[in-house]
Amino acid sequence: MMPDIFSSFDPYMYNTLFPSNSLFIVMNMTLVLLVQTGYWMINSRQSTFISPLKSTIFTQLSRTFSHQLKGASSIISSMFIILIMINLMGMIPYTFSTSSHLIFTLALGFPMWLSFTLSSGSYSPKKTIAHFLPDGAPDWLNPFLVIIETTSIVVRPLTLSFRLAANMSAGHIVLSLVGIYCASAWFTSTLGTSMLILTTLGYVLFEFAICLIQAYIFCLLLSLYSDDHAH
């Protein structure tokens, strides 16, 4: 039995299905490579699942400036599929949830944000600096607006990473709480246990939807950040 509800986020508290975090990530990336069916005449079941996801994220990327940046669309779309698989595999019982940790989400969001910023600065430094000051602002307000805009741009990778990690962590914590109460009520109340089991099943379905939605929001915000690129 786990000592507290946060023990599910510690990979060394118990033996998980994937004891090595590096092996777990490699397995996710291998699954992405296996679903590439360009060599086959008929699409497989995996490609049938992946194709709508690809079309969804490419439709969003085509509405932003990221589709004009070489390689950005491919990277973000691949990240979208990998995040979905990692989030879904984190729903397996007694499995270490990688996407619920800030160090993992920050390792995805920070390089993308930094690459957009450096690419914009190298392409047109003047236009990049101009983004720090909105148009039409009064002169006496310009110093404060520059500070606010600079702060908002700098904290983007932190807010992006915190959003994904916090939402995935909250879901696993709620499932742990409901599971603990369900186990406690097993020998005391049959009606309470039945209600908790139904609640758990409903929340598990809701958590599966959260896994898809949070991966989409993560990539959606990355694509929106590309609109600040100088062009």
Residue 189 tokens read as 């109340």
Report pLDDT for 124: 78
What residue ranges of the chain have pLDDT lower than 50?
1-2, 14-20, 35-37
Report pLDDT for 169: 85
Report pLDDT for 15: 46
In a domain, 150, yes or no: yes
In a domain, 8, yes or no: no
Q: What percent of the chain has pLDDT over 70?
A: 77
In a domain, 32, yes or no: yes
* Residue 153 neighbours by CB under 8 Å, 6+ apart: 117, 131, 132, 228
Report pLDDT for 48: 66
Which residue in 176, 180, 174, 207 sits closest to 193, CA to CA? 180
In a domain, 46, yes or no: yes
What 181-185 contacts at long range (C-beta under 8 Å, 24+ apart), as own/partner pairs, is none
DSSP state of 14: S
pTM over 0.85: no
Report pLDDT for 37: 47
Domain that holds residue 198: 19-228
Q: How many structural domains is the chain composed of?
A: 1
Report pLDDT for 174: 82
In a domain, 1, yes or no: no
In a domain, 7, yes or no: no
How far apart (Å, rounded) are the C-alpha atoms in residues 152 and 110? Answer: 14
